[in-house]
Structure 1
């Protein structure tokens, strides 16, 4: 795996984490930046600079043996778009420059799909099916972005159409492109073979991803059928998780017997987050819980971070750790454990405060200070991991 490209991805992640830290500090002191603008920058750099580009790097590493130079050029053009968003969003929010860089990123992603489709070489039908499905979801998710302009011009930014377009993009990015992307790499490493169990898992996963989009639609355009559709999607998602467990259990020796303990811990952490993600989504079938989540931002942020920092980043870190880019040491342990501790503490704090808001207990004492202090552990952990990779001398190009 290319050391240079992984370092760029981690730098993007570090910058996104520092932006997130600044957002939490802004509740304590003024930072001189527009909160909403910085939130846009934080989310775009985390999603498109960290997760997107790491999946880009992993797909090329594992599935494109010839590695044409067009992939490298495309990586740097995509990173240029990320840096453009990194600078422009905090200064102007959604405006001409930031939208231009976002549009460039979308066109880069379309070309990436074309290149992968053209150059992919794998003997595994499982890997190919999952890979292409994740990329299809990525392309489909951008329909939501293209709908934002017409939504604003015709109905305004407060309209249901505009909000559903945003949710369409986020839902199929997180649950389609990102989640299926990391599962693709995981199953490729596990050498999962095509079987009846895999076919069942695949059908359940794809169908549940489509049907659970009914929940965000229900938030902005309620209809009596939508909770039932979401309920079916949730049931299928639970079934997909069970089939996932069966597939991993059959091949667990490839993961848990031959790896360093730190890699095993990261895989285990990501899998626990996967279970929690399905569990919390399952609670959405309860109308009261769904309403609580929608009305309390703490739960929404906590769930997004569970997906991004826990499930998806957990797998991405595990993939990095099992490569030849790191030397296992106490410093590396410190970086990983700092990140994990920061994640767990901030998630617990968000959950506790969300519950207190719901029951009418008010604010947790020193809530914003504690949230800021616990959040320091996230960029600290990423920094230590990044430094360990930079210092490591022997690596594959």
Structure 2
């Protein structure tokens, strides 16, 4: 049984198209009538599949691709079963959540998805240790898979509260934000940073790259409390939060400096370069928003309005993570790049930008209690633009026969 990594990347992209399709349906239901669909249940299916079916599936595939590149003789068949396992649980959740919401089967499959991540963590950690070269990216990868497993504590806490019928809003939100924080800012971010560091490590000294890792690794735990400033927290914890927010900004500024100083040596393709630029801009906005949220009054105001929270989450999931992963897929020579590829990627990015503008506009209008006409229709249009861009991109992708992957 062979492990075709290009095929797994294409599966991940198809899953992204499914996420976009669900996004269109959700936006259509808000703007117009769609009585046979339960909005809340479909939203749960949409979010769980986005995490497991798209982001986690893509990251796991790219991490295995890195392993293959570093050790061409490595046996990767064991990862075939893990990728299949993650894919199965993702599709099972895609079906279960829209049908029953948080019910027996959806909880079983989401729990199985977590167990797959545990197994992946153990196996991948061991395989990284077997590599002869200790690349600076390994620290990022190990932290990423560790935080992926750690985030599950939030999911289990939510499950326990639901099963015990404990209704406490602060505890519920704290558990939910715990899971989201260590997924977005842990698993997703550290994995993506590890991938870009694996490229930088060829031309940048390990000492410089280690500084960036220490800044972000040291900030990850205190940064969780950025999501809980609406709770009563000790002064010393608040000081740690502010330090963590500044540490992340400084770490990112130093990363930008290193990338900008070595742009010509990195030799990114034009489409990858532009995708990384947009992802970098989104990450810069995200880190500055986090820094601004250290002001308690602003944090309470922002987290009190759902459109702002949704806008922020989409900024990270789409603007930072998704655009980066697409850019990296082109960097590692996965697909043949054509004019259609560039145009479709541009359409997709335009949809993301339009979506963020309308979401933030909706959030600001909610703060001022001003109703903006046709905002839901505008968000539906943004979702359609993203869907069209992805559809064109995926249907026109051609595998590059001269790839960097080893097929075992």
Q: Could you state the TM-score of these two structures normalised by the residue count of structure 1?
A: 0.93
Match of 1:61 in 2: 65
Residues 33, 91 of structure 1: 8 Å contact kept? no
Structure 1 residues 200-223: Cα deviation after superposition (integer angstroms, max 9, x where no partner): 22221012211111122333x322
| Structure 1 stretches lacking a partner, 5+ long | none
Offset, 1:175: 0.3
Q: 2 CA distance for matches of 1:13 and 1:150?
A: 30
* Structure 2 counterpart of 1:52, from 44, 49, 56: 56
Structure 1 residues 158-206: Cα deviation after superposition (integer angstroms, max 9, x where no partner): 4322221111111011001100100000110222555443232222101
1:2 pairs with 2:5: yes
1:173 pairs with 2:183: yes
* Structure 2 counterpart of 1:222, from 218, 232, 241: 232
Match of 2:343 in 1: 334
Q: 2 CA distance for matches of 1:132 and 1:28?
A: 43
1:186 pairs with 2:202: no
Residues 342, 374 of structure 1: 8 Å contact kept? yes
Offset, 1:68: 2.2
Offset, 1:332: 0.7
Offset, 1:153: 4.5
1:1-397, aligned counterparts within 5 Å? 2-31=5-34, 32-64=36-68, 65=71, 66-120=74-128, 121=131, 123-154=133-164, 156-191=166-201, 193-219=204-230, 221-225=231-235, 226-255=237-266, 258-360=267-369, 362-389=370-397, 391-392=398-399, 394=401, 396=403, 397=407
CA change 1:54–1:67 in 2 (3 A) is farther
Residues 6, 399 of structure 2: 8 Å contact kept? no
Offset, 1:157: 4.2
Offset, 1:154: 4.8
**What is the CA RMSD across the aligned residues, in angstroms?**
1.9
Residues 190, 254 of structure 1: 8 Å contact kept? no
Q: 1 CA distance for matches of 2:242 and 2:332?
A: 39
Q: 2 CA distance for matches of 1:184 and 1:67?
A: 22
Offset, 1:7: 1.4
Offset, 1:379: 1.4
CA change 1:16–1:58 in 2 (3 A) is same
Q: 1 CA distance for matches of 2:62 and 2:402?
A: 15
Q: 2 CA distance for matches of 1:354 and 1:86?
A: 28
